[in-house]
Copies of this chain bind each other. A is one copy, B any other.
Amino acid sequence: MIGFRGVSVAFVAIAGALALPPSLSAQTADYDATAKAQAAANSKPGDRHAPARDIATPTGDVSPQEQAIIARPYFPFFNAHPKNPGEWKELVARLADMGAKQIPALAEKLHVTVTPTVIAGVKCYIVEPKDMPARNRNRLLVHVHGGGYVLGPGLSATREAILLAGFGGFKIISIDYRMPPDFPYPAAMDDAMAVWKIAVTMADPKNMAIFGTSTGGGMTLAMVLRAKDEHLPLPAAIAPGTPWSDLTDTGDSYKTNEWVDNILVTWNGWLGDAAKLYAGRHDLKEPYLSPIYGDFHGFPPAILTTGTRDLFLSNTVRTHRKLRRAGVEADLNVYEGQSHAEYYVDPDAPETKEAMTDIANFFDKHLGK
């Protein structure tokens, strides 16, 4: 007979008799009690019951810079629930100001210029390296920023574009699309598609890619869906980073990584409110809002990026598998310990350079010259 519970109890008893350090006996007794309670709580098919836990910052194969990001406290506004358009605008402005302040130094550090412009009546930024590599002279990328369709207007939107322009040497149009509360769906998508229609006249679509993270990842997918539907040229590759591909709270990591992800923290904070604010009267499952419900057949090759603690881990892996099931080349990258979109926080973290270089190499492989 295997005493698979009795052994630990015996060990605790022995530990007490031998006067082992209190911390060790306590730890063992704690573990034993937890294991017993957990076994009882998970002895039948159905929901998983997980206990409260303290989770240390991972160290294996994680740079010190990234460890510092993973160890940060929760994003202070995760549970903001603005009551009206005025409160939304106040939150948006405050965060946009914080983000925009970092942009000049970031652009300088990465030898990138950021130039405001207007394309098809839509505010955009041209983000490009000061020294353009020869291989990229005829290439053009289009960037759609993140922020839950509400946050991140203006200069604050250009962060990821600057990183990819800097580490990858690409010229990029970053779209400062309209957002709620003033402009709910489909304004953002209309703006993005209006720019896309012009962008494909500025370069050969075979030399072009679309990319973005979070909401920008969802929009990247939705833009391809809409370009297919409207018989527009498709990009030669896409990089939907941890895409908000499902605006409903469907997806296992919305639960398994709830309260673990230190950026988004929970769907039930500002995020879920933002989904409804953006969608207005539209069903959250419409494919231009939640592209996971769209048809991925005929999509260009895609590179996806996420982290093990990301609230959108499931959004990302569901998108990856759905692309593969549709016969699309799709390359998944998951970073150890990272929460939502932490692969582009610190330009000095090796993981940031790695993620951007992987995307750049993927584009280099799939784009014409």
Contact = CB atoms under 8 A, between A and B. Distances in A.
Interface in A70-87: 71-74, 77-83, 87
Contact of A50 (B48, B260, B320): B260
A356 B53 CA distance: 35
Contacts of A335: 317, 321
Nearest to A39: B74
29 contacts: A1-B90, A2-B80, A2-B90, A4-B270, A8-B81, A35-B79, A38-B74, A39-B74, A39-B78, A42-B259, A42-B262, A43-B73, A45-B68, A47-B54, A48-B55, A48-B57, A48-B259, A48-B309, A49-B55, A53-B258, A53-B259, A58-B252, A60-B250, A61-B292, A61-B318, A61-B321, A253-B308, A317-B334, A321-B354
A261 to B, nearest CB: 9
A74 to B, nearest CB: 5
Interface in A81-133: 81-83, 87, 90-91, 94
A153 to B, nearest CB: 17
A17 interface: no
Contacts of A334: 313, 317, 320, 332, 334
A19 interface: no
Contacts of A68: 45
A269 interface: yes
B57 A47 contact: yes
A251 interface: yes
A282 interface: no
A55 B255 CA distance: 6
